Amino acid sequence: MGRKTIKYPVYTIALALYLFFIVLPVLYSLWLTVTDGHFIENIKTVGQDSIILLLKSSVLAAVIAIISTFFGIILGFLIYKTSINYRKFFKVIILIPLFISPYILAVAWRDILLLFFDKIENSNSFFAIILVHSTIFIPLSILIIGSALVNVSKNLEESALMISGFKRMFFNILLPLIKPAILSSLVLVFIFSISEFSVPAFFSVRVFTTEIFTQFSAFYNHSLAMLQSSLLIIVCVLLLLSERKYIADSPFLSIGTRGKTTKLYDFKSFNKIAYLILIFSVFIMILLPLLILLYQSFKDGTDDFIEAFQLLIPTFGNSLFLALTGAILTLIFGFIAAYFSEIYRKKLLDSSLLLLFAIPSIVLGIALIKFYNRPVLNTIYSGVGIIIIGYVAKYGFIAAKMLENAIKQIPKSLDEAAKIQGIKFYKRINSITLPLVFPAIFAAFMINFLFCLGDLGTTIMVYPPGTEIMPIKVFTIMANAPESLTSSMVLIVFLFTISIILILFSIFRKIFTAYNVNY
């Protein structure tokens, strides 16, 4: 007596769209790689050297992942779990490095480091990469770990505090409870770091991604580059899958159905130290590079700043539009993937998001071009559609991941109770699930918005001729432009992004109150 109609139309439609518009292009270009006639020859080229390089890159990325996660735990705890003053301010300000192009931070840091070292090479340059990547990815760790910390039920901590001191509680209760988040942070930072290209290139360190880049840009050997990329993709997918397996097996904390509050700590005597740590981190991660940029922007007066502003004006509208659209669509796909994978165990969409996430930007860009650049699909390729497709492909997984964790924390009985009462599927999602995961939706939206707004790797490959997009403009103008102009542009991007973040925060706060999220 099976039902003839499609059981989950939303899921099926989303899956079909995703498979056709995003997965198919990638498979198509892989197919081209295999069938281009040089496949065997290329396989031979990807030899021992590549493996050694991949190992080296992995070690580097692992170090960065560990450092970021370590600081993510400390800072995440201070910002999300203490009653320290101005924690909301820190919560926002600490996100800043996420939306500055890594290349720009690398430039700023090189100037800072040159104050301490004669020159940057060899061991120095490894240190520089670790430093720059860590400052970029610590905010990501803070976000992942912070949101897990917030969701730890007060009871669990308090019952532990009854029988032991804070220190024991922290290491034996709190940390183990957020283990899934810690693991997520490690894996995500590792993947971001190992696929990031501009910083090692800038510090002249040969890593796996620069090698892929060389194949693309010096040898124009797309097939070999694709082949090398697939090694990287395999490593990333394996990591993500094992992380997923672990998370699926680990106990998950639930939002209490009888009310929930986060326990905030107040260490009276320790507060000063906490402040020092926070201020020091903000200083290193944000203020120092900002100061350098400020100095470079204004050392010769304000002319360049004004010019930079004029150059960027046409990009504001476009970039905002693209990033908002990207973030919304990413969120929709992410939510559908997360919801159906958690509630109905339909994993295919979620797994495709994961696969796409592991693909380096340039490979994705080339794949999209090869598939979409044909007369039939010209409407998509010659318009902004292709950029949006790139965003969804690249960042859908992040949204899905953040939402999955949130949906896991909602007891299933809440949905079932409504189901028994005859509440229809969409109303259940709209009234029960969505409001309960609203904080996660907001976080996912913000992160994706920032990623889309700053995306360079894929966008630069596919943006329609003549379209003015903020990160691209900064990047292309940067060559041979005076330092003050470049720095000014970066500063303006900074200011622009921060104001958008603040506006979005205030809009969402209104929705939060309307939905009574802070029950």
Partner 1 sequence: MKLKPINRFIIPIFIFYIFIFAGCKDNSNSVVVYTTVDQVFSEPVLKKFESQTGIKIKAVYDTEETKSTGILNRLIAEKGNPQCDMFWSGDPMRTVVLENKGMLYPYISKSAEGIDEEFKDKDHLWTGFSARARVLIYNKDLLKKEDVPQSIFDLTSEKYKGKVAIANPLFGTTTFYLAALFSIIGDEKAKAYLQDLKNNNVVIATSNGDVKKRVVKGEVFCGLTDTDDAFEAIKDGDNIGMVFLDQQGIGNLIMPNTVSLIKKEKISDNAKKLIDYLLSPETESALSYSCAQMPLHKGVKTAKNIPSPDKIKPMKIDYIETAKKLKEIQNYLKKWVEKQ
Partner 2 sequence: MSIIKLKNISYSYDEERVLDKLSLDIEKNKITYLLGNSGSGKTTILRLITGLEVPQEGNVYIENVLVSIANSLIVPPEKRKIGYIFQDLALWPHFTVYKNIAFGLQNKKESDIEKKVLDMLDFFGLKDSANKFPHQLSGGQQQMIAISRALVLKPKILLMDEPLANLDIKSKRKILKYLVLLKENFNLSIVYVTHDHREAFEIADDIVVLNDGKIQDSGSTEKIKNSDNEFVKDFLEIEDD
Interface residues with partner 1 (CB under 8 A) are: 103, 114, 118-119, 121, 197-198, 201-202, 204, 206, 213-214, 216-220, 222, 321, 325, 328, 362, 365-366, 369-370, 373-375, 378-379, 381-385, 430-431, 434-435, 456-457, 460-466, 472-473, 475-482, 485, 511, 514-516
Q: What is the DSSP string of 36-99?
A: SS-HHHHHHHS-HHHHHHHHHHHHHHHHHHHHHHHHHHHHHHHHHHB--TTHHHHHHHTTGGGG
What's the closest the beta carbon of residue 402 comes to partner 1, in angstroms?
18
Partner touching 126 among partner 2, partner 1, none, CB below 5 to 8 Å by kind: none
Partner touching 176 among partner 2, partner 1, none, CB below 5 to 8 Å by kind: none
Instruction: Kindly state whether residue 414 participates in binding partner 2, applying the rule CB under 8 A.
Output: yes
Instruction: Kindly state whether residue 419 participates in binding partner 2, applying the rule CB under 8 A.
Output: yes
Q: Which amino acid is located at 59 in the chain?
A: V
Instruction: Kindly state whether residue 515 participates in binding partner 2, applying the rule CB under 8 A.
Output: yes
- CA atoms of 342 and 365, how far apart (whole Å): 30
Contacting range for partner 2; rule: CB under 8 A; set: 243-251, 253-261, 368-376, 384-392: 253-261
What's the closest the beta carbon of residue 490 comes to partner 2, in angstroms?
41
Contacting range for partner 2; rule: CB under 8 A; set: 31-39, 44-52, 212-220, 252-260: 252-260
Task: Count H helices and E strands in the chain, helices first.
Answer: 28, 0
Partner touching 414 among partner 1, partner 2, none, CB below 5 to 8 Å by kind: partner 2
- CA atoms of 339 and 392, how far apart (whole Å): 17
Partner touching 411 among partner 1, partner 2, none, CB below 5 to 8 Å by kind: partner 2
Radius of gyration of the chain (CA): 23
Which residue reads 């990547």 in tokens? 133
Structure tokens at 401: 């991941």
Instruction: Kindly state whether residue 421 participates in binding partner 2, applying the rule CB under 8 A.
Output: yes
Rank residues 409 and 497 by Cβ distance to partner 2 and give the closer one. Answer: 409
Number of residues that bind partner 2 (CB under 8 A): 27
- CA atoms of 508 and 515, how far apart (whole Å): 10
DSSP state of 344: S
What's the closest the beta carbon of residue 409 comes to partner 2, in angstroms?
12
Which residue reads 């700590």 in tokens? 265
- CA atoms of 264 and 80, how far apart (whole Å): 8
Instruction: Kindly state whether residue 413 participates in binding partner 2, applying the rule CB under 8 A.
Output: yes
Instruction: Kindly state whether residue 519 participates in binding partner 2, applying the rule CB under 8 A.
Output: yes
Partner touching 222 among partner 2, partner 1, none, CB below 5 to 8 Å by kind: partner 1
- CA atoms of 488 and 475, how far apart (whole Å): 13
Contacting range for partner 2; rule: CB under 8 A; set: 79-87, 96-104, 245-253, 411-419: 411-419
Instruction: Kindly state whether residue 432 participates in binding partner 2, applying the rule CB under 8 A.
Output: yes
Choose among 401, 414, 244: nearest CA to 335.
401
- CA atoms of 133 and 201, how far apart (whole Å): 13
What's the closest the beta carbon of residue 443 comes to partner 2, in angstroms?
17
Helices (H), 94-152: 102-113, 123-150
Q: Say if CB 406 and CB 437 are below 8 A apart.
A: yes
Partner touching 197 among partner 2, partner 1, none, CB below 5 to 8 Å by kind: partner 1
Interface residue with partner 2 among 435, 454, 457, 471 (CB under 8 A) is 435
Which residues does residue 265 pair with via DSSP β-bridges, in sequence order?
82
- CA atoms of 333 and 350, how far apart (whole Å): 9
Q: What string marks each residue from 255 to 274 as x (binds partner 2 by CB under 8 A) or -?
A: xxxxxx--------------
Structure tokens at 52: 């050694």
What's the closest the beta carbon of residue 384 comes to partner 1, in angstroms?
6
Partner touching 395 among partner 1, partner 2, none, CB below 5 to 8 Å by kind: none
Instruction: Kindly state whether residue 343 participates in binding partner 2, applying the rule CB under 8 A.
Output: no
Task: Write b or e for each residue in 3-29: b if 16 or more Cβ atoms lie within 10 A of its Cβ, otherwise e.
Answer: eeeeebeebeebbeebeebbbebbeeb
DSSP state of 82: B
Cα–Cα separations (whole angstroms), residue 13 to 10, 118, 148:
5, 58, 32
**Contacts to partner 2 by CB under 8 A:** 1-2, 255-260, 411, 413-414, 416-423, 431-432, 435-436, 515-517, 519
